[in-house]
Amino acid sequence: MIDLLYAVGSCTDIVGSWEVGGQADGLVVRLRTSGVHDAEAAAVEAAQQMVKSFLPGGYELLSTSAVARSEGRANDRWRGVAEVVVVAAG
């Protein structure tokens, strides 16, 4: 678990907030970009970059998702959101 915290800490240039939860087949890490984007595609790209930058050593990746979430009334701002499910290797 400490490795996960270090992995998130090494991504603070792109990760604005995060949370970790458990589930039957591993740990779920939800990541949100630190900034918002003008376009949905840019937010999805940022979420995908978070996934690529995040995976800590000693864990196997079970699944990922990277999406954009609309923020604001006019749907003119987008935040990248990623969910990563990992399990301890070995």
- What are the tens digits of pLDDT across the range 21-45? 998 888 999 999 999 999 999 999 9
Cα–Cα distance between 22 and 20 in angstroms, integer?
7
Name the residue ranges covered by the structural domains of the chain.
2-88
Cα–Cα distance between 87 and 55 in angstroms, integer?
11
Cα–Cα distance between 38 and 79 in angstroms, integer?
9
Confidence of residue 74 (pLDDT cuts 50, 70, 90): confident
- The predicted model scores a pTM of 0.85
CATH T-level fold of 2-88: Threonyl-tRNA Synthetase; Chain A, domain 2 (3.30.980)
